[in-house]
Amino acid sequence: MPATPDDHSTGAAPAMDPEDALAAAEDAHLAARRAAPAQRGRRRQDGPAPPARAAPAQPGPAQPGPVPAPAGRGLGRRGLAVRPQRVAHLAAAALVAAGWAAVQGFLAVLLVMTLLQLAEGRTGSLGALARLGGVGWLLGHGVPVRTGAGPLGLAPLALSAFAAWRLARAGVQVTRAIRARRTGSAERALTVAVAVAVVYALLGALAAAVLDGPGIGVSAARAALNLGGFGLATAGAGALAATGAWDAAARRAPLVVGDGIRAGMVAALIVLGAGAVLAGVALALAGGDAAQTISAYRTGVAGQAGITLLCLAYAPNAAVWAAAYLVGPGFAVGLQTTVRTTEVSLGPLPAVPLFAGLPDGSLGGAGLALLAVPLAAGMAAGGLLVRRRPARLAAGTRPPAGTGSGMRLRAGAGLPTGARPPAGTRPRAGTRTPAGWSGLLGAAVLAGPVAGLLLGLACAVSSGPLGGGRLAQVGPAAGQVGLVGAGVVAVGAVLGAVATRLATRR
């Protein structure tokens, strides 16, 4: 039966406002998007679900609805698509991390320079202090600086260590920013190291270009080269540790190589630690002369603090020089000077409290006892080599999957402690057997060159000119210290490993 006009007047709904229609459509779209996961779950169990009921069509012009959200994007207010949070770009992350590391190093040097200005009884302008701070910052990275008194290239190793720490942290931060942490990818770690090194090299070149002028000469190319290499090494170490590539490479390396590198590093650290102790004791015994040197400046508390901070900045240099003194070749404090256990020849020295601890003459018999320290360091490294891993994997394989690394295994059996292998059985591949003499002695011999390389590198970075004239050569000869240290540590490591192995088998 056809509808009458009365039916239209009483049963039909009134026309909806266009804005209300748009809001209703958006609400329906949002409800459908939210219900989609639940509908998919029900569809797997009960079959396909009926489509969501859309809003009733209304007469009038078509109104534009909301754009459906693409896959992988969330929904914002009223169901509109929202762009996801982007991963930090490599270049931006490297710029921020390397720039912040450079700012921290510069501020540390600026503090020391400000206190040194107070020690001299004068206060310069902010621009002059900033220039001195920039020079000290470049000097901490081994960049030589030309001054009116001659070339200055003796890097304060305390500042160098601080800069290395901050750049290693920068490598870790950039690795996290690009989501490469715990990926085990050496390529991504290298990418992070190169990005940080490029930014750091550009900052060094920019600082050198700004500082180069009357009274101070700095090569921008040399600054870029030094800071780029410094950043590549330190940021690379941090990135390798963050990605886990360092651990993966250590697991793939032969056991003899890993043990030799570890033992050499232990021996080198023991020698450097002994040098630090010797330098501290010598300076403490000469505390009166050091105090007179500080009081000769006739400055206040701030100036004395500046001189003390300057000595602390070069304290690692003194520790390396003392280690070279223990190894045998010694070091020099100027041209035609020698400081070793059997000979001491010095000339006029700068008025620096750190030089108050230099010996006055040879030590005689006591000097021979000090030369035994590197040998004892090698023996300690060899003993630790045997005690740390008394057993090795048979047939060069790794333990089977599922075996805990913390389980204690009986040497030669691959069984838990307290259990004995059945009679007539032989250890399978992947079980632990006593380390052979060839592998043990090979690792002990390898420890010598590793320790010598590290000691020579430490001597190289702790040396440099301290002006023109007599002080154009300050520090130890890296080649001599490295060669002697390698031989002494190798002999000590072999003796320590053999003695410890024979003692543990009894």
Amino acid at residue number 264? G
Cα dist from 438 to 271, 383, 445, 488, whole Å: 26, 16, 10, 20
pLDDT higher than threshold 50 for residue 236: yes
Residue 105 resides in a domain: yes
pLDDT higher than threshold 70 for residue 451: yes
pLDDT of residue 436: 76
pLDDT higher than threshold 70 for residue 329: yes
Q: Ranked by mean pLDDT, which of 161-165, 338-342, 390-394 comes out on top?
A: 161-165
- 339 closest CA partner among 311, 367, 313, 366: 367
Name the domain boundary from 202, 231, 252. Answer: 252
- 324 closest CA partner among 275, 373, 269, 380: 275
Q: Is the distance from CB of 324 to CB of 333 less than 8 angstroms?
A: no
Residue 14 resides in a domain: no
Task: Provide mean pLDDT across the span 348-354.
Answer: 84
Whether 195 and 287 map to the same domain: the answer is no
> What separation, in Å, do the N-terminal and C-terminal C-alpha atoms of the chain show?
113
pLDDT of residue 476: 94
Cα dist from 306 to 106, 123, 149, 422, whole Å: 16, 13, 21, 71
pLDDT of residue 57: 46
pLDDT of residue 35: 66
Whether 248 and 179 map to the same domain: the answer is yes
pLDDT in tens, 202-231: 999 999 999 988 888 999 999 999 999 999
User: Which residues are 409's β-sheet partners?
Assistant: 416
Q: Is the distance from CB of 163 to CB of 143 less than 8 angstroms?
A: no
- At residue 350, the 3 state secondary structure works out as coil
Whether 134 and 274 map to the same domain: the answer is no
Structure-token match 């190289």, residue found:
460
User: Which residues are 213's β-sheet partners?
Assistant: 216
More confident residue, 251 or 476: 476
Among 14-23, 134-143, 423-432, which is the least confidently predicted range?
Answer: 423-432
Q: Give the total number of structural domains in the chain.
A: 2
E strand or H helix at 474: strand 474-476
Task: Provide mean pLDDT across the span 186-195.
Answer: 94
- 323 closest CA partner among 271, 375, 364: 271
Name the domain boundary from 252, 275, 299. Answer: 252
Task: Provide mean pLDDT across the span 380-404.
Answer: 61
Q: Is the distance from CB of 500 to CB of 359 less than 8 angstroms?
A: no
Q: Is the distance from CB of 238 to CB of 167 less than 8 angstroms?
A: yes
Whether 168 and 262 map to the same domain: the answer is no
Whether 176 and 236 map to the same domain: the answer is yes
Task: Provide mean pLDDT across the span 97-108.
Answer: 94
Whether 229 and 280 map to the same domain: the answer is no
Mean pLDDT of the chain: 78
Residue 416 resides in a domain: no
Whether 294 and 356 map to the same domain: the answer is yes
Residue 247 resides in a domain: yes
Whether 246 and 270 map to the same domain: the answer is no
Residue 114 resides in a domain: yes
pLDDT of residue 161: 95
Task: Provide mean pLDDT across the span 124-150.
Answer: 87
pLDDT of residue 402: 41
Name the domain boundary from 204, 231, 252. Answer: 252
pLDDT higher than threshold 50 for residue 458: yes
pLDDT in tens, 11-45: 444 455 555 665 666 667 667 766 665 555 555 55
Whether 105 and 221 map to the same domain: the answer is yes
Structure-token match 């651990």, residue found:
247
Residue 171 neighbours by CB distance under 10 Å? 31
Whether 269 and 150 map to the same domain: the answer is no
Residue 417 resides in a domain: no
- 318 closest CA partner among 371, 360, 278, 367: 278
pLDDT of residue 30: 61
Q: How many helices (H) and strands (E) does the chain have?
A: 16, 10
Query: Which residues have CB under 8 Å from 503's CB, separation 6+?
Result: none
- 326 closest CA partner among 281, 383, 260: 281
Report pTM.
0.74
Domain assignment of residue 173, given as a range: 90-252
Banded pLDDT at 437 (limits 50, 70, 90): confident
Query: Which residues have CB under 8 Å from 273's CB, separation 6+?
Result: none
Whether 154 and 278 map to the same domain: the answer is no
Long-range contacts, stretch 24-31, CB < 8 angstroms, 24+ apart: 24/55, 25/54, 25/55, 25/63, 25/65, 25/66, 26/65, 26/66, 26/78, 26/79, 27/79, 28/52, 28/54, 28/55, 29/65, 29/66, 29/68, 29/79, 30/75, 30/78, 30/79
Q: Is the distance from CB of 356 to CB of 286 less than 8 angstroms?
A: yes
Q: Is the distance from CB of 307 to CB of 150 less than 8 angstroms?
A: no
pLDDT of residue 73: 40
Whether 230 and 282 map to the same domain: the answer is no
Please list the alpha-helical segments (H only) found in 213-314: 220-243, 245-252, 255-285, 287-295, 301-313
User: Which residues are 466's β-sheet partners?
Assistant: 152
DSSP per-residue codes, 7-61: HHHHHSPPPPPHHHHHHHHHHHHHHHHHHHHHHHHHHHHH-PPPPPPPPPP-SSS
pLDDT higher than threshold 60 for residue 503: yes
Distance (Å, whole) CA 5 – CA 142:
98
Burial class for 136, CB neighbours closer than 10 Å (0-12, 13-18, 19+): buried
Burial class for 150, CB neighbours closer than 10 Å (0-12, 13-18, 19+): middle
pLDDT of residue 33: 65
pLDDT higher than threshold 50 for residue 79: no
